[in-house]
Amino acid sequence: MVLHPLLGVDEVPAVEPYLGRVGEVFRVFGERDSGCVAYGVRLLDGARWFVKEAVNEHGHRSLERGWAFHRAVRHTAIVPQVHRIAVRDGWAVVMPWRSGEVLYHPAAGGSRDRTRPGGPMARFRSLPTAEVLRAFDRVLDAHLTVEAAGQVAVDFYDGTLLYDFAAGAVHLVDLDEYRPGPFVLEDERLPGSRRFMSPEEFVRGAVIDSRTTVFTLGRAARHLLDAGDEERAWRGTAGQLAVVERATFPAPDDRFTDVHRFAEAWRAAGAAR
């Protein structure tokens, strides 16, 4: 029996040289603040995979957290971590490759990447409203599964959304900071994009729970369903905007208490179009 070159190997001395022996590395995603380097690799049988390797202690912690999250949560919109390989003193994780474009590349041009003509976000925002709504509903459905597994969203933003324009499909990637909740914030702040983060994510000692995820999803809806980046051209209904406004109240007690109730209100508002 021939072992799979990625799923059948438990340890390698170094990731990139090994990938070059078993296939072709066609993309390299350099180290960012995640502490990881990732590779797109095409194996000899033509199948494409995504391999992410930790390169420092922060990356090791991130991959450990991500591995635990993917063992707890499975949803067809969430790209899974299906195998991990020991390398030196850490790990590399293996995921199926998904076609598409990340809606936002913070390293590619900062906030300008969101408004760049012809860029992924600008093209996404130019889609018919019904298609954008379908994509967001898919994101929302994935987070119902996240909540049901006792997990909360951390570091979710438009950079974790991979959109396949040809297939009209959205995938969630890089959810390594998601974790079991509720929990008490022990640091000065959580990682993430300020544009999507709730006030409590910047307060040491604050409780992070489903209401925090509700805020993040509300911000995502507001961001994705706007025709521009200044949030002055809402494309949804007045009822949907009212749901978003409640989801993003500064005080957690004023929001929907969980993702389930937020989803019910959002879908009811959409049905009333």
Three-state DSSP state, 174:
coil
Are 224 and 194 a contacting pair, CB within 8 Å?
no
Beta bridge partners of 43: 23
- The pLDDT score that the predictor gives to residue 90 is 87
- The answer for residues whose C-beta is within 8 angstroms of residue 62's C-beta and 6 or more apart is 34, 35, 36, 54, 176, 177
Using CA atoms, how far apart are residues 249 and 254, in angstroms rounded to an integer? Answer: 6
Using CA atoms, how far apart are residues 163 and 172, in angstroms rounded to an integer? Answer: 9
- At 110-166, the pLDDT tens digits run 556 677 888 899 999 999 999 999 999 999 999 999 999 999 999 999 999 999 999
- The pLDDT score that the predictor gives to residue 10 is 95
pLDDT band with cut points at 50, 70 and 90 for residue 228: confident
DSSP assigned state of 10: -
Q: What's the pTM? A: 0.94
pLDDT band with cut points at 50, 70 and 90 for residue 31: low
